[in-house]
Amino acid sequence: MGQQAAASIRQVARAARVSVGTVSNVLNRPSVVAPATRRRVLAAIDELGFVRNESARQLRQGTARTIGLVVLDVGNPFFTDLAKGVEAAATEAGHAVMLCNSDGSRDRESRHLELLAQQQVHGVLMSPVEDDLSSARELAARGVSVVLVGHPAESDDLCSVAVDDRVGGEIAVTHLLATGRRRLTMIAGSPATRQCAERHAGGQQALRNAGHDPGGLEFLEVPTLDVAAGQRAAEQLLARGSLPDGVFCVNDLVALGLLQVLLRAGVSVPDDVAVVGYDDIDFAAAAAVPLTSVRQPATLLGRTAADLVIAEGAGSRHQHQQVVFTPELVVRESTGHREGRSRAPDGPAWGALLRPVHDLGGRLAAQEPEPAG
Amino acid sequence: MGQQAAASIRQVARAARVSVGTVSNVLNRPSVVAPATRRRVLAAIDELGFVRNESARQLRQGTARTIGLVVLDVGNPFFTDLAKGVEAAATEAGHAVMLCNSDGSRDRESRHLELLAQQQVHGVLMSPVEDDLSSARELAARGVSVVLVGHPAESDDLCSVAVDDRVGGEIAVTHLLATGRRRLTMIAGSPATRQCAERHAGGQQALRNAGHDPGGLEFLEVPTLDVAAGQRAAEQLLARGSLPDGVFCVNDLVALGLLQVLLRAGVSVPDDVAVVGYDDIDFAAAAAVPLTSVRQPATLLGRTAADLVIAEGAGSRHQHQQVVFTPELVVRESTGHREGRSRAPDGPAWGALLRPVHDLGGRLAAQEPEPAG
DNA sequence: CCGGGTTAATGAATCGTTTCAACAACGCGC
DNA sequence: GCGCGTTGTTGAAACGATTCATTAACCCGG
């Protein structure tokens, strides 16, 4: 098996003593070619180690069988879960997925979009870096199907699949209030980004609902949304002298970083501070103190987005859709009820405080007998 | 900006009143075209919203500016870190990265490889699902540059970038022995896979070095290498009645799952059981009990692999290389010394046990005064 | 045995770019 | 004013698959 130059359809045709058109038919519409011929062609393909040249196919057909996915942070399990959903749906439809990481950078985002446009991809799924959707619209104007992920399109000229961030913020803060917390801080990125703003607004709504001053939810801004940012935020809080008694983090990475530093500093969670995260990534359940979190259906989100983009590309006349899912709260130890809780026993005592709405695949919840509330 | 059909180089040529060859020159070798003409062409490109059709370029040139990366598990931060390294190097060289997830499935792996071959990618980086490298070799025989990642090519017909797994296993177990552990268990995937076998062999070597019976390292096999697998493994261990006093997990995901279930069951880590993970993912430091782990330079690994594949594609006569890095141990609380440790105080007392070789970017280590060992 | 219908196979045109031999225009030295 | 190198520009020939109007072969009923 020497390193032969890639065989072309023409050589296959010659080897099978048929025309190139027939080979193409064997490849794409096998039913129209006579069984005997088909066998002969397949044998030739096999013998020559022929691999279809996708660029040529693409060039002729005008569109690739690839969909692009541009995410904010591949390092965030939320997005890899999302990507898994996208890939599942794409594979079923015979498409490949090109996963790109914008890393929150506008520049990288537009570079990736440019590249995807050049590749004539079937469509693009993107979680936009900023609220300015002009790059998405520009791409759509060039004839590429675009679906926003995790960011509702405020007008109906684009498809979008999102989770209601306001509700997410609301249930998080409502829960903190229900466990008796009053001095609340939210840790998030720039309030200029929709997600952070919406989740914050939801939190304020929760305060209002409970008859409190919506100003009671302090906003602490961090530059990035990763573990390191959470660590730094915790250091800031610790440096102040007085801690809030409830913290709502805009995602689980931040929450995990925060948690780690708080615990290391001797702060008890949830006794001194309750912590709520967002996304409910797998690691949330495995944290130092298992993390209460607002779950978004990441895989479903990806699957839905992919289905939309595939449909939009295929369909004749397409109506843009805005799909919105509702998040749900997963309660774990990091927000254990304040009352009826002694200072800090170790080990399985935690169990008594746990009211698992969801747990890792329900495995553990199913194996431990559920204590009466 | 109506949804216009994509403009071709020909239309640009007409608009700028030059030939297509000149437009192509503006695109690829701007220096050879007179400034005035160049400006005219650029203006036309801008006005028509021209986007280069990558398929056509590729077809003509014979090769794409894309490199494929096939990983075992995108959900594992080790691989996303790796991917970041790959992307950095690729971007510098003007290549895009196609990230594919084989999820440990042979089938998915070969589907991805087939797809990448069809796309005429510049090269492929892959962490092979099994030790059987025939699919990699087959791809290489078809003329695609292949670099194995995390798996040394035993012969010199392929490039590879790996980390010495035997040494990794050795330092992990040596450390467990040094903290006084004797009843050791390793949790890993099938011993038929090289990585698991090598790390196990390294562990046995450590026992031999210390004058113990290499059989003293029990091998507990799990079907997958994720958090859930670690949880199940812990349940198995707990069901036995007697626990090992040191556990070496083949990666951090498994270790985190194990840790969570052990703690929930009231087992003290590190007092009752010490746990060592592998990869040193970010979450290892943020775990319930910060995890001692064998660090692999994931990003560097990716970067090196990408550089190799780029060089191989470009270079005239290419000599295959096998690069091997050495892992290092990052000690954290999960293997705190057994002696001099009281039963289970909470909070910052942990700090006294910590001898940080590495920590999350050194941030924390730098801020906490280092207690004398 | 002929005409109409069906089934198979053909081969040329096409997609949009790159490449390259050829050519035009220009300046310059002799 | 002639040849010559330099500099810009041109136009046509690839690249490899798909598509489609034609053609070829064959069957069957009248």
Mean pLDDT over B90-103 rounds to 94
What are B265-313's pLDDT values in tens digits?
A: 999 999 999 999 999 999 998 887 899 999 999 999 999 999 999 998 7
Which H or E run contains A310? helix A298-314
Domain ranges of chain A: 9-52, 62-164+298-325, 165-295+328-367
Mean pLDDT over A258-284 rounds to 94
Mean pLDDT over B113-138 rounds to 92
Return the pLDDT at B345: 36
Return the pLDDT at B26: 96
Q: What angle do CA A238, A241, A245 make, to 5 degrees?
A: 70
Quote the CA–CA distance of A74 and B74 in Å, as a whole number.
9
Return the pLDDT at A264: 85
Are A42 and A53 spatial neighbours (Cβ–Cβ below 8 Å)? no
What are A115-165's pLDDT values in tens digits?
A: 999 999 999 999 999 888 889 998 988 889 999 999 998 888 899 999 999
pLDDT band for B373, please (50, 70, 90 cuts): very low
Mean pLDDT over A233-254 rounds to 96
Q: Which residues of A touch B142 (CB under 8 A)?
A: 3-4, 6, 49, 51
Are A288 and A350 spatial neighbours (Cβ–Cβ below 8 Å)? no
Percent of chain B with pLDDT over 90: 76
Mean pLDDT over A293-308 rounds to 97
Q: What is the mean pLDDT of chain B?
A: 87
Least confident of A74-83, A218-227, A293-302, B306-315: B306-315
Reply yes or no on whether the pLDDT at B317 is more than 90.
Answer: no
Protein-proximal positions, strand D, CB < 7 A: 7-21
Q: Using CB atoms within 10 A of its CB, is residue A362 exposed (0-12), middle (13-18) or buried (19+)?
A: exposed
Name the more confident of A292 and B345. Answer: A292
Q: Measured from the CB, is B20 under 7 Å from any atom of strand C?
A: yes
Quote the CA–CA distance of B96 and A109 in Å, as a whole number.
13
Mean pLDDT over B199-228 rounds to 96
Return the pLDDT at A315: 64
Q: How many other C-beta atoms can be found within 10 angstroms of the C-beta atom of residue B212?
A: 16
What are A198-232's pLDDT values in tens digits?
A: 999 999 999 999 999 999 999 999 999 999 999 99
What are A154-197's pLDDT values in tens digits?
A: 888 899 999 999 999 999 999 999 999 999 999 999 999 999 99
Return the pLDDT at B337: 59
Quote the CA–CA distance of A284 and B37 in Å, as a whole number.
59
Choosing among A65, A283, A346, which should be mutated to test the B contact, i.e. which has the most B CBs within 10 A? A283
Helix (H, G, I), strand (E, B) or coil at B187: strand
Quote the CA–CA distance of B77 and B281 in Å, as a whole number.
6
Reply yes or no on whether the pLDDT at B178 is more than 50.
Answer: yes
pLDDT band for A335, please (50, 70, 90 cuts): very high
Q: How would you label A282-296 residue by residue, b for 16+ Cβ within 10 Å and e otherwise?
A: bbbbbbbbbbbbbbb
Are B308 and B366 spatial neighbours (Cβ–Cβ below 8 Å)? no
What are B346-364's pLDDT values in tens digits?
A: 333 333 333 333 333 333 2
Least Cα distance to B145 among B153, B154, B155, B136 occurs for: B136
Protein-proximal positions, strand C, CB < 7 A: 7-21
Half-sphere exposure of B290 (CA within 13 A, CB side): 27
Point out the residue among A52, A287, A348 whose CB comes nearest to the CB of B118.
A52
Return the pLDDT at B6: 76
CA distance A85 to chain B (A): 12
pLDDT band for A340, please (50, 70, 90 cuts): very low
B60, closest nucleotide (Cα–C1'): D15
CATH topology of domain A165-295+328-367: Rossmann fold (3.40.50)
Establish whether domains A9-52 and A165-295+328-367 are of one fold.
Answer: no
Angstrom CA distances, B315 to A171, B126, B296, B369, stand at 58, 20, 29, 50
Quote the CA–CA distance of A349 and B287 in Å, as a whole number.
19
Whether residue A56 and residue B54 make contact (CB cut-off 8 A), yes or no, is no
pLDDT band for A50, please (50, 70, 90 cuts): very high
CATH number assigned to the domain with residue range B63-164+298-325, chosen from the 4 options 3.40.50.2300, 3.30.465.10, 3.40.630.30, 3.30.720.120: 3.40.50.2300
Residue in chain B lying closest to A367 (CA)? B235
Angstrom CA distances, A80 to A18, A278, B216, stand at 46, 15, 38
Reply yes or no on whether the pLDDT at A343 is more than 80.
Answer: no
Angstrom CA distances, A153 to A132, A249, A323, stand at 11, 24, 10
**Separation in Å: C8 C1' and A44 CA:** 19
The yes or no reply on domain B166-295+328-367 and CATH 3.30.360.10 is no
Quote the CA–CA distance of B82 and A74 in Å, as a whole number.
11
Helix (H, G, I), strand (E, B) or coil at B312: helix
| CATH level 2 (architecture), domain A62-164+298-325 | 3-Layer(aba) Sandwich (3.40)
Reply yes or no on whether the pLDDT at A271 is more than 50.
Answer: yes
Percent of chain B with pLDDT over 70: 88
Least Cα distance to A179 among A90, A97, A255, A248 occurs for: A248
| CATH level 2 (architecture), domain A9-52 | Orthogonal Bundle (1.10)
Choosing among B92, B109, B118, which should be mutated to test the A contact, i.e. which has the most A CBs within 10 A? B118
Angstrom CA distances, B117 to A187, B113, B144, stand at 45, 6, 7
Point out the residue among A2, A59, A351 whose CB comes nearest to the CB of B55.
A59
Reply yes or no on whether the pLDDT at A6 is more than 90.
Answer: no
What are B257-266's pLDDT values in tens digits?
A: 999 999 889 9
Cis before A371 (ω within 30): no
Whether residue B367 and residue A235 make contact (CB cut-off 8 A), yes or no, is yes
Which H or E run contains B70? strand B66-71
Point out the residue among A4, A118, A228 whose CB comes nearest to the CB of B360.
A228
